[in-house]
Amino acid sequence: KNQVEQSPQSLIILEGKNCTLQCNYTVSPFSNLRWYKQDTGRGPVSLTIMTFSENTKSNGRYTATLDADTKQSSLHITASQLSDSASYICVVSALYNFNKFYFGSGTKLNVKP
């Protein structure tokens, strides 16, 4: 069964600290993996997109890693800001089945001053 599991479910950190969010997936055959940021009451917005051959990709203070062998990805946030408070959703797409997207349940990050 194609699944995407994220951990932790929620996380509270102090402003300025770093954190790492985890995503494990069983989607096969794998096409690519995206991390989305979703502010409360808004639609998800893409942060990074990673294909099979990519191990690391950065977008400002966000760095995503991908290990296609172990089917794991992480999103590292450096020097967190209050505006980073949001849900972070890992989305994996399958190579076939119309490039279907499989969503994790998200990690809710709360950055406190």
Partner 1 sequence: DTGVSQDPRHKITKRGQNVTFRCDPISEHNRLYWYRQTLGQGPEFLTYFQNEAQLEKSRLLSDRFSAERPKGSFSTLEIQRTEQGDSAMYLCASSTQQVGTEAFFGQGTRLTVV
Over the window 10 to 49, marking each residue x when it contacts partner 1 by CB under 8 A and - when it does not, the resulting string is ---------------------xx-x-x----xxxxxx--x
Least Cα distance to 8 among 16, 17, 20, 18 occurs for 20
By CB under 8 A, how many residues form the interface with partner 1?
A: 27
> Which residue from 57, 71, 76, 108 is in contact with partner 1, where contact means CB under 8 A?
108
For residue 82, give Cα distances in angstroms to 12, 28, 77.
11, 36, 12
Q: Could you tell me where the beta strands, DSSP code E, fall in the chain?
A: 4-7, 10-14, 19-25, 30-38, 45-51, 56-59, 62-67, 72-77, 86-94, 101-103, 107-112
- The only residue of 91, 92, 109, 111 in contact with partner 1, by rule CB under 8 A: 91
Contact between 74 and partner 1 (CB under 8 A)? Answer: no
Residue 59 interacts with partner 1 (CB under 8 A): yes or no: no
Residues lying near partner 1 in the complex (CB under 8 A)? 4, 6, 31-32, 34, 36, 41-46, 49, 51, 89, 91, 93, 95, 98-101, 103-106, 108
